[in-house]
Amino acid sequence: MGGAKNCPETPRQKMIGMMYLVLTAMLALNVSTDILNGFTLVDNSLHSSIAASDTRNAKLYRDFQAANADNPEKTQEWFDKAVEVQKRADSLFNYIQDFKEHIAILADGQKTVDAWKAQGEDPTMHIEGNSNLDVTGQYAIVQGNGLILKEIVAYYRDYAAGLAENDAELRTSIQQTLATERGWNAHEKDSCDWEVAVFDGMPVGASITILTKMQNDVRSTESELIQYLMDRTDAGDLRVNKLNAYVIPNSNYVIRGGKYTAQIILAAVDSTQRPEYYVEGQRINDQGIYEVAAAGVGLKKYSGWIAYQNPSTGEMDQLQFSSEYSVGEPAVTMSNVELNVMYAGYENKFSISVPGVANDKVKVNVNGATVRQQGGLWMIKPSQGAKNVTISVMAELDGRMQQMGNETYRIKPLPKPGAYLKAGDNEYNGDKTIPRSAIINPNSTIIASYGPEGLLNLNFTITSFKADINGMLTQANGNKFTREQLDRIGKLKPGNSVILKDIRAKGPGGQEVTLSAVPLTLN
């Protein structure tokens, strides 16, 4: 198995990549939607390429399994890694497929997608709404699924690149193929986040092709990794000129009470040998797994060595290693986006996250309120009569839920807004004189507001008010003057006054309040 190249790119793959770039550029120039037919051709070619990769990968796995059956002492370590690669590649590939099907559902409807699947067909290859410019951005950007895809691709990329740590060329290729850096978006006309650059303003046909290309990249990367791991089994024969000791931790950041776990390995050593592993002068297990309770907060450093038999001299040699990890207190970040306190009768917007933990692994429980997610925020509405609300946050770490922290908030009633006469772009509350024409304008309305500098922007509805027009008190329902009131105001002279009083308004929670009077003096 030694000496094989790491699956160089075939002429067919190069052609598909060139067609993809050309069609993307033409789409950016806003040419005819007939270009979408070109994307369909590329998508079909990509599916053919994926099928070829699946066939090639299946043969690689069979060959690897056969080699492991013949010599498990030598190949078991690398074969286990190959199995893990297959599992992770399939998981990412299937997630992208699910991503595509959700776009297809938005474009054509659930029934159409189900009908194609019932026939054993891939519904994403038969989308009628390929020219739709909205649904991709809706699903990927508005609903936040593009950011999740970015995180999953980046996680797989970092795992794959880490696996290829001894092959700089392959590692660079993986990082470039599965890159998720900021990009250029023609609609934004500026650099922007990866998910915006890839999906914003893209027609469905183009987005499906982009996602199929990602699937093809996943399979191509999988091929390269499996070939690389097969080559590593020969590298274990020590036909190399350099040996290194490596420490591979599950994570360099550990929550207090959790466990720090690291795999200590000797690269390019014959797997039929059993090296001895030492940490801080103490021998550990023969598998090289170092595990210690994370007691005490701060940076933890450790070092040791691996003792192995030199095949040339028969003597025991040593390779030194050192590493470090951080232990932190359980922590959670909470911020009330709009307010410094939590108000009754209102959905208070909270941004809640846990450092180092993906949002889908964070769970929020609230005592004394109802809670729901909207976009990336948590909407928390205190229950009627509640005096306090406690927010408790948990996160999934190492496969189990762990308490990260909680906060208690006092509940206060919503502050009473002020009343204003809104005429065009101007708002009057008695702080300045007003033209008579502004009052009698049929578009002028009475509004309830916290003013231009207010911290809140809530919807209050004016239900009724009274107008004292130069000493004559009149009643109006709603938020506009009656015809009778307008006629009376039309006869006023400069210096006369109109006082709005007994102003009733209904708030977002259904409660009704009486607002302060608004004195208006004509100029």
250 shares a domain with 103: no
CA pair distance 24, 32, nearest whole angstrom:
13
In a domain, 1, yes or no: no
At residue 338, φ and ψ (nearest 5 deg) are -105, -25
C-alpha closest to that of 157 among 138, 174, 135: 174
The last residue of a domain, from among 328, 345, 370: 328
The full DSSP string for 269-287 is --TTS--EEEETTEE--TT
Q: What per-residue confidence (pLDDT) applies to 111?
A: 94
Nearest Cα residue to 24 out of 246, 197, 162: 197
Shortest CA distance to 85 belongs to which of 231, 179, 225? Answer: 225
Nearest to 414 by CA among 459, 374, 462: 459
Residue-level pLDDT at 6: 46
Radius of gyration of the chain (CA): 33
Beta bridge partners of 320: 305
DSSP character at residue 140: I
Across the chain, mean pLDDT equals 82
Residues 503 and 486 occupy one common structural domain: yes
Domain enclosing residue 349, as ranges: 333-412
Which single residue is written with the structure tokens 């003096």? 521
Quick check: is 2 in a domain? no
* Higher pLDDT among residues 226 and 309, named by residue: 226
Instruction: Give the lowest-confidence range in 8-12, 138-142, 349-353.
Output: 8-12
Are 275 and 288 in contact, with CB atoms under 8 Å apart? yes
Based on the fold, state whether residues 287 and 365 are members of the same structural domain.
no
Judge if 136 and 223 occupy the same domain.
yes
Asked whether residue 175 is assigned to any structural domain, the reply reads: yes
Rounded to an integer, the average pLDDT of 366-378 is 89
Of 486, 485, 519, 516, nearest to 503 by C-alpha is: 516
DSSP conformation class of 9: P
276-320 pLDDT, tens digit per residue, is: 899 999 999 887 888 888 777 777 889 999 988 776 566 888 889
Structure tokens at 417: 């807004």
What's the rounded mean pLDDT across residues 194-221? 90
Query: How far is the C-alpha of 289 from the C-alpha of 77, rounded, in Å?
Result: 14
Q: What DSSP line would sit under 461-522, residue for residue?
A: EEEEEEEEETTEEEEEESSS--HHHHHHHHT--TT-EEEEEEEEEE-TTS-EEEEPPEEEEB
With vertex at residue 185, the alpha carbon angle to CA 179 and CA 186, rounded to the nearest 5 degrees, is 145
Residues 67 and 122 in one domain: yes
More confident position, 17 or 162: 162
Separation CA 287–CA 275 (nearest Å): 9
Report the distance separating Cα 65 and Cα 80, nearest Å.
10
Residue at 158 is within a domain = yes
pLDDT tens per residue, range 467-509 = 999 888 999 999 999 999 998 998 888 989 999 999 999 887 7
Q: How many CB atoms are closer than 10 A to CB 381?
A: 20
pLDDT > 70? residue 163:
yes
Same domain, 84 and 24: yes
**230 or 259: whose pLDDT is higher?**
230
3-state secondary structure of 355: coil
Give the residue among 185, 187, 204, 198 at the shortest CA–CA distance from 149: 198
User: Of 295, 328, 361, which one is at a domain's C-terminal end?
Assistant: 328
- The answer to whether residues 305 and 365 belong to one domain is no
In a domain, 4, yes or no: no
Rounded Cα–Cα distance for residues 335 and 349 (Å) = 9
In a domain, 83, yes or no: yes
Do 464 and 378 share a domain, yes or no? Answer: no
**Paired sense of beta strands 282-283 and 276-279, if any:** antiparallel
Round to whole Å and give the CA distance between 99 and 438.
Answer: 54
Residue 335 banded pLDDT, cuts 50, 70, 90:
low
Inside any domain, residue 6: no
Question: Is the pLDDT assigned to residue 261 strictly greater than 90?
Answer: no
Can you read off the two tokens belonging to residue 203?
């027609």
The rounded distance, in Å, linking the Cα atoms of 309 and 244 is: 14
Quick one: CA dihedral 329, 332, 333, 339, positive or negative? negative
Burial of residue 269 (CB within 10 Å: 0-12, 13-18, 19+) is buried
Q: How far apart are CA 369 and CA 336, in angstroms?
A: 15
**Residue 43: burial class (beta carbons within 10 Å; 0-12, 13-18, 19+):** buried
Whether 240 is covered by a domain: the verdict is no
From 412, 432, 467, the end of a domain falls on: 412
**Burial (CB count within 10 angstroms: exposed 0-12, middle 13-18, buried 19+), residue 374:** exposed
Same domain, 193 and 216: yes
Same domain? 152 vs 199: yes
CB 485, CB 520: distance < 8 Å:
no
CATH number of the CATH domain containing 313: 2.60.40
- Of 290, 295, 312, 300, nearest to 246 (Cα)? 290
Bridge-based pairing state of the strands 400-412 and 342-343: parallel
CB 500 within 8 A of CB 512: no
Residues 103 and 213 in one domain: yes
Position 7 scores a pLDDT of: 47
Counting the structural domains of the chain, the total is 4
**Predicted confidence (pLDDT) at residue 1 exceeds the cutoff of 90:** no
One domain, residues 123 and 178: yes
